[in-house]
């Protein structure tokens, strides 16, 4: 079968191109890891001011590595002036926490430590469960940055690398004359396109699984919902990237021109991917966001990974992604037509 012959050829070619394989599989991991360390810089010691907190609690906190500074009296101003990460106040047996939240990761770590300490004490005979009310000086509870960022980043890297490699794959076929040579064989354009989608699609599947597994297993990215949904969304996005990459390669004469599409097509997607909140933008910008495939993927990934929602919450976005892919594939068939009418 002709499609199978091309799929086999694409796989052989890619497997022999070690550099490209490394780019496809390891580059996303390296960048994700870097981002993880940048946004989760937990090396600094957490500093907590306390007012009226008993000795046991203080000891428990210090045991888990928090530097505790007791105050007679303190408030929000103290936190800012003394550069505390947080301030724990006890009055009438009620605990309340003020978090500086300059770095969300620090706030997250600190409140986790306090909750653990409170839970440990509560487990002891004379202890009682504590309800801790947290206040934030900057931002709010939801600003755990890497947690929000990681779904977007995973989607973006899948999109970017699949786009680049599939686009350049077909471009090479065009510049080396083999595409024209193929047109002199009885192959149909639909078959050629299907083979390209399948051949590069296989590598996209492997890449998606590696990126998702690495994020979860090594970087400890929390997936509140189903991992299968995460993979499903990324595969839909990879299909969009594949068909868009192949489509745009038609308009590039050289590999360098293909790279020129990155600032034009790929970079703007980052802005609309939800790293910056789209809801606050001007109406016309929001309209543009709706035309970006990554916007839907990021929304769906955030829904699954961060909010823990199920399939019902993402089916609209999945449908949007598949619609994008369908449009790009149709355009591909039209554009390929210019070489031979069949």
Partner 1 sequence: MEQAVEIEGVSKSFGKKEVLSDISFLIGEGMIYGLIGPSGSGKTTLVKMIVGIAAPDAGAIRIFGVNVPNLELLEKVGYMAQADALYTELTGKENLDFFASLYPMKNAARKKRIAYAAGIVNLTAELGKRVSAYSGGMKRRLSLAIALVHNPKLLILDEPTVGMDPELRLSVWTELLHLKKEHGKTIIITTHVMDEAERCDIVSLVREGRILATGTPTELKQAYGAKDLEEVFLKAGRENR
Nearest distance from C-beta of residue 195 to partner 1, angstroms: 11
Smallest gap from Cβ 16 to partner 1, in A, equals 5
Which residue in the set 31, 139, 268, 339 belongs to the binding site for partner 1 (CB under 8 A)?
339
Size of the site for partner 1 (CB under 8 A): 26
| C-alpha distances out from residue 277 to 118, 141, 149, 202, 305, Å | 34, 16, 11, 33, 17
Strands 86-91 and 47-51: parallel
Per the structure block, which two tokens stand in for 112? 């986790």
Give the nearer residue to partner 1 in terms of CB position, either 12 or 290: 12
CB of residue 278 vs partner 1: minimum separation in angstroms? 42
How far apart are the C-alpha atoms of 317 and 22, rounded to whole Å?
30
With b for 16 or more beta-carbon neighbours within 10 A and e for fewer, the 307-341 pattern comes to eebeeebbeebbebbeebbeebbeebeebbeeeee
Per CB under 8 A, 2 contacts partner 1 = yes
21: contact with partner 1 by CB under 8 A = no
By the rule CB under 8 A, 315 interacts with partner 1: no
Shortest distance in whole angstroms from residue 188 CB to partner 1: 7
Using the contact rule CB under 8 A, the part of the chain among 2-10, 61-69, 70-78, 254-262 near partner 1 is 2-10
CA angle 300, 302, 308 (to 5 degrees): 95
The span from the CA of 186 to the CA of 173, in Å, is 17
Separation between Cα atoms, residue 216 and residue 31, nearest integer Å: 15
Could you give the CA distance from residue 114 to residue 123 in angstroms, rounded to a whole number? 14
The reply on whether position 18 binds partner 1 by CB under 8 A is no
CB 157 within 8 A of CB 31: yes
Report in angstroms how near the CB of residue 28 gets to partner 1 at its nearest: 23
The distance of closest approach from Cβ of residue 10 to partner 1 in the complex, given in angstroms and rounded to an integer, is: 10
Site for partner 1 in 170-199 (CB under 8 A): 176-178, 180-188
Q: For the segment 55-114, give every residue that binds partner 1 (CB under 8 A).
A: none
Which CB sits closer to partner 1, 102 or 255?
Answer: 255
Strand partners of residue 99 = 86, 136
> Which CB atom, from 184 or from 217, has the smaller least distance to partner 1?
184
Candidates 12-20, 59-67, 148-156, 263-271: pick the segment binding partner 1 (CB under 8 A).
Answer: 12-20
Question: Which residues, in sequence order, are CB contacts of 13 under 8 Å at separation 6+?
Answer: 169
State the alpha helices, DSSP H only, in 176-226: 178-183, 189-217
Kindly tell me which of 1 and 55 has the beta carbon lying closer to partner 1: 1
- The nearer residue to partner 1, 186 or 280, going by C-beta atoms, is 186
Give 7 or 212: the residue with its C-beta nearer to partner 1: 7
CA dist., res. 112 & res. 57, Å (int)? 14
**What's the closest the beta carbon of residue 166 comes to partner 1, in angstroms?**
16
Task: Answer for the pair 50, 40: CB distance below 8 angstroms, yes or no.
Answer: no
Shorter beta-carbon distance to partner 1: residue 19 or 77: 19
Does residue 5 touch partner 1 according to CB under 8 A? yes
Convert 147-161 to b/e letters by CB count within 10 Å (16 or more is b).
bbbbbbbbbbbbbbb
Min separation Cβ 208 and partner 1, Å: 24
The residues binding partner 1 (CB under 8 A) are 2, 4-6, 8-9, 12-13, 16-17, 176-178, 180-188, 339-342
């Amino acid at each position: 079968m002709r499609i199978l012959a091309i799929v086999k050829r694409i796989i052989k070619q890619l497997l022999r191109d070690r550099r490209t394989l490394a780019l496809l599989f390891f580059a996303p991991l390296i960048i994700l890891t870097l981002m993880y360390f940048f946004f989760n810089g937990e090396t600094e010691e957490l500093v907590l001011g306390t007012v009226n907190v008993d000795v046991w609690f203080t000891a428990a906190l210090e045991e888990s590595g928090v530097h505790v500074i007791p105050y007679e009296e303190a408030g929000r101003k103290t936190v800012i002036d003394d550069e505390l990460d947080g301030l724990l106040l006890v009055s009438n047996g009620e605990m309340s926490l003020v978090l500086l939240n300059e770095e969300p990761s620090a706030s997250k770590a600190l409140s986790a430590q306090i909750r653990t300490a409170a839970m440990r004490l509560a487990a002891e005979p004379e202890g009682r469960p504590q309800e801790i009310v947290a206040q934030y000086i900057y931002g709010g509870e939801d600003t755990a940055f890497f947690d929000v960022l990681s779904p977007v980043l995973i989607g973006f890297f899948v999109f970017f690398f699949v786009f680049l490699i599939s686009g350049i794959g077909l471009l090479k076929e065009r510049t080396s004359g083999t595409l024209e040579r193929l047109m002199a064989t009885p192959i149909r354009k639909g078959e050629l396109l299907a083979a390209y989608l399948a051949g590069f699609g296989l590598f996209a599947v492997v890449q998606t699984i590696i990126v998702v597994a690495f994020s979860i297993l090594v970087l400890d990215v929390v997936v509140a919902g189903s991992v299968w949904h995460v993979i499903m969304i990324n595969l839909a996005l990879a299909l969009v990237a594949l068909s868009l990459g192949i489509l745009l390669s038609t308009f590039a004469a050289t590999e360098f021109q293909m790279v020129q599409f990155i600032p034009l097509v790929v970079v703007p997607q980052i802005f609309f991917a939800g790293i910056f909140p789209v809801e606050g933008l001007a109406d016309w910008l929001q309209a543009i966001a709706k035309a970006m495939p990554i916007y839907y993927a990021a929304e769906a990934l955030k829904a699954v990974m961060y909010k823990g929602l199920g399939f019902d919450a993402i089916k609209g976005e999945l449908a949007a992604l598949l619609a994008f892919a369908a449009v790009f594939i149709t355009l591909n068939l039209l554009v390929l037509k210019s070489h031979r009418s069949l």
